[in-house]
């Protein structure tokens, strides 16, 4: 079996027995192992893949710690920012959390970009990331709704919405500006908590909800190779 990095190849690999997986990995070079380690599709569980339904506008991923919400969000942003020119809103509970988790964290955008040797320019003073193709991601916080008043985006990744201090106002301003392109979309990665805004989002006909209470497979923040004992 030839090892690829597509979702189809990932599913084929995952269909092998453990012994077959170990045999395949044992014959790989260091470079191939590193490529596999960086291949999200190789070990992500179904809840971390974007919905197949093309009509969705909000992807709501609610899960406890260890599920891999941050990794899934960063992977989604990197794939879209690298394949088309888009403007992206990265909204954390605070600016510090947006920087520390979504951008600079162990499963954040900069870490994954370096792992793949993809160039992304980060300007901390401007709270901005820029891709060679012109895509731009700007950091915002859920405790400052005025910062989201005015800017327009194609995509948004909203982390820990349940912790946003001014969630209602911030979400309203974000959504009003989420109108670039023919298919604006938002991914919300959050720990489940009782919250009126989350309930309303869940009830929308174009929201797809992935709800997990705890880790449902290999953590998206860790290496796929660890469960195989390599």
Please give the angle made by the CA atoms of 79, 136 and 105, to the nearest 5 degrees: 65
Q: Residue 187's beta-bridge partner residues?
A: 59, 157
Contact indicator for 221, 190 with CB cutoff of 8 Å: no
Same domain, 97 and 11: no
Which residue is it, tokens 């605070």? 94
Please report whether residue 219 resides in a domain: no
Same domain, 26 and 131: no
Same domain, 201 and 116: yes
* Integer CA distances (angstroms), 72 to 10, 17, 144, 220, in order: 16, 25, 25, 7
Same domain, 63 and 32: no
Fill in the DSSP letter of residue 98.
I
Cα distance between residue 37 and residue 4, in whole Å: 12
Secondary structure (3-state) at 130: strand
DSSP conformation letters of 141-152:
ETT-GGGGSS--
Instruction: Give pLDDT tens digits along the chain (230 positions).
Output: 334 456 677 778 878 898 988 888 888 888 777 777 667 766 667 777 788 777 899 999 998 877 789 999 999 999 999 999 999 999 999 999 999 999 999 999 999 999 888 999 999 999 999 999 999 999 999 999 999 999 999 999 999 999 999 999 999 999 999 999 999 999 999 999 999 999 999 999 999 998 865 554 444 333 333 332 22
The number of domains in the chain is: 2
Please report whether residue 224 resides in a domain: no
Give every CB contact of residue 124 below 8 A, 6+ residues apart in sequence.
99
Structure tokens at 229: 């004992």
Residues 64-75: pLDDT tens digits? 877 789 999 999
Please report whether residue 164 resides in a domain: yes
Please report whether residue 218 resides in a domain: no
Same domain, 1 and 86: no
Question: If you count them, how many residues does the chain have?
Answer: 230
What's the domain range around 172?
50-212
């Amino acid at each position: 079996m030839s090892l690829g990095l597509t979702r189809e190849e990932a599913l084929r690999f995952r269909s092998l027995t453990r012994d077959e997986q170990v045999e395949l990995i044992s014959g790989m070079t260091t470079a191939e192992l590193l490529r596999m380690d960086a291949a999200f599709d190789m070990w992500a569980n179904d809840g971390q893949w974007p919905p197949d339904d093309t009509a969705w506008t909000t992807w709501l991923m609610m899960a406890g710690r260890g599920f891999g919400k941050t990794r899934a969000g960063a992977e989604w942003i990197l794939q879209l920012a690298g394949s088309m020119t888009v403007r992206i809103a990265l909204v954390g509970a605070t600016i510090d959390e947006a920087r520390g988790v979504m951008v600079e964290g162990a499963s954040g955008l900069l870490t994954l970009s370096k792992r793949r040797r993809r160039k992304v320019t980060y300007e901390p003073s401007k709270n901005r990331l820029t891709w060679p193709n012109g895509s731009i991601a700007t950091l915002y916080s859920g405790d400052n709704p005025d910062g989201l008043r005015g800017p327009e985006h194609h995509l948004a990744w909203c982390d820990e919405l349940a912790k946003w201090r001014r969630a209602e106002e911030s979400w309203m301003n974000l959504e009003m500006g989420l109108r670039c392109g023919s298919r604006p979309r938002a991914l919300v990665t959050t720990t489940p908590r009782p919250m009126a805004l989350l309930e309303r989002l869940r009830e929308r006909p174009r929201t797809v909800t992935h709800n997990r209470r705890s880790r449902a497979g290999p953590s998206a923040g860790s290496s796929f190779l660890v469960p195989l004992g390599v």
